[in-house]
Amino acid sequence: MSREGSGQNRYRYRAESEMLTYMLTLERPSPEQLINYGRAQKYAALKSSARAIRDQLMVWIQEQGLAGGVARVGEPTVFNTLFVTSTRGVARRLSHAPGVVGIRPADEFKVDLFDADELPPAEEDAESDSPD
């Protein structure tokens, strides 16, 4: 199945008004700022930084009149990311919001669980498994 037109380019083909989920990469404290922190302090500092940017973003969204195009702004985490469900048009604007470094589509995806029982054995191994 070719990728083009196979339904795997949903973000490309969706209507402007459709709500999609995006991952925003945020500014974060530099490693130097965190160097003398213990884990608990690092956790608190990174979370607090992401929360401040989220709060600032909420205000910015209101100020820019974009609230109608935003369905959800996720919770801040220590990974300097925020997940936002919005229209494509708003997503483009969000990339210029204060504290935002980048924006990428972030839909769900399948993972592979690596248990192998149903895979066919290689021929040489199949032979070596024989009672002989």
* Interaction site with other proteins (CB under 8 A): 1-15, 18, 21, 23, 25, 31, 34, 38-40, 42-44, 46-47, 71-72, 74-75, 77-81, 83, 104-119, 121-122, 124-125
d(CA 46, CA 28): 7
Task: Report in angstroms how near the CB of residue 94 gets to other proteins at its nearest.
Answer: 15
CA dihedral 43, 46, 47, 52 (to 10 degrees): 160
Token pair belonging to 127:
């032979």
Task: Report in angstroms how near the CB of residue 131 gets to other proteins at its nearest.
Answer: 15
Token pair belonging to 49:
């930084």
Task: Report in angstroms how near the CB of residue 129 gets to other proteins at its nearest.
Answer: 10
Edge-to-edge order in the sheet of strand 20-26: 70-73, 81-86, 20-26, 100-105
Residue 42 or 93 with smaller CB distance to other proteins:
42
Residue 8 or 63 with smaller CB distance to other proteins:
8
Residue 63 or 128 with smaller CB distance to other proteins:
128
Give the count of beta carbons closer than 10 Å to the beta carbon of residue 120.
Answer: 7
Contact 73, 54 (CB under 8 A): yes
Residue 58 or 71 with smaller CB distance to other proteins:
71
Task: Report in angstroms how near the CB of residue 123 gets to other proteins at its nearest.
Answer: 9
Length of the chain: 132
